[in-house]
Amino acid sequence: MTDAPYDRENFCYRHPDRQSFILCQRCGRTICTSCQTQAAVGVHCPECVKEAKQNAPKRQPINIRAARAMRGNSGQPVVTYSIIAVAVVVYLLQLLVGSSLTQELVYYGPLTLSEPWRIVTSMFAHGSPIHLLFNMFSLFVLGRILEPAIGRARFAALYFISGFGGVIAVLVLSPFTSVLGASGAIFGMLAALFVIQRRLGGNTTQLLLVIGLNLVIGFFVSGISWQAHVGGLLAGAAVAFIIVRTRNVRQARLQALMIAGVAVVLAVIGLVRLAV
C-alpha cells in the first residue's frame, strides 16, 4: 500500500480539506458527500442545483393548475366514505326492521310536501344487496376521483344536488312512481367527471360510452328509473359547469351562489309540478 500523491483536483472545491473522487455530473467539479445532490444520473454540485432551479419552468402544466384551482382541499375522500357508510347502515336497518322502514324512506311524489325528508332518505335506501353494491362501488370509484379534485364541500353539493335532480325528474315525468337508491346522484357524478375532463382537455370517449350505455339500459330494463338517471345527469352537469367556469378564488362567493341557484331552480320546478 502506498500513499497517493496530493492533487487538489481530488479535493472538494467547497471544502479543500476533504478528499473526494466524485465529480458533479454537469460541471465536472469535485464534490464531497456533504455537497452532493442526487440526480437522475449521478450527482450535482450546489451551484448546478441552484442554476437548475432558477431555470426551471415557473408555471405548472395547465391541467394540474386547473385541477388545483377547483380543489378546495386535499386528503382522503371523507365525504365519499361517509356516504357509503351511511348507505350501508341504512340498508342493514332495512333488513332488520323490514319493508315498513323501506316504505318510510322511499320517495313518492304525492308525499313531497307532507314528508319532504324522503327526498334525502331515498338517496341512502336500496332495494337489494346488488343495488347497494353497484351504487356504492360506483360512488367509491367516482368519489375517489372527484372529491380530491374539487374539494369536499363542492363534492357534497354535487352529490346531493344530483340526487335532488333525479328526484325532481321523477316528480315531473312519473309522479306516482316510488323510487329509492343513489343512482341519480351517481349519474350526476358521471356527468360532472365528463364536464371536468372535457374542460381540462382529457379524453372523454370511454366515459361517454359508459354514460350512454348505462343511460340506455334504464330505458329497457324494468325496475330502473330512467327519469332519475336523466335528472341526475342534467343536475350534475350543471353543477360541474359552474365549478369549472368559476375556478378563480375571487369567484368563490359567486360559485357558491350559482350552485345554490341550481338547487333553487330544481325546487321551483318541483313546486310548479305539484301545483299543476
Please name the residue that has the C-alpha cell 367516482: 142
Q: Nearest Cα to 158, choosing from 193, 201, 126, 202?
A: 193
Whole-angstrom distance, CA of residue 105 vs CA of residue 15:
75
Whole-angstrom distance, CA of residue 249 vs CA of residue 70:
9
Q: What's the gap between Cα 213 and its chain centre?
A: 21
Q: Which amino acid is at 266?
A: L
Q: Is 229 a catalytic residue?
A: yes
- Rg of the Cα atoms in the chain: 28
Count of CB atoms within 10 A of residue 191's CB?
Answer: 25
Catalytic residue among 44, 126, 131, 229: 229
Judge contact between 230 and 215, C-beta under 8 A. Answer: yes
Whole-angstrom distance, CA of residue 149 vs CA of residue 195:
13
Catalytic residue among 122, 162, 183, 225: 183
Identify the bridge partners of residue 19 per DSSP, sorted by sequence position.
11
Q: Which residues are catalytic?
A: 183, 229
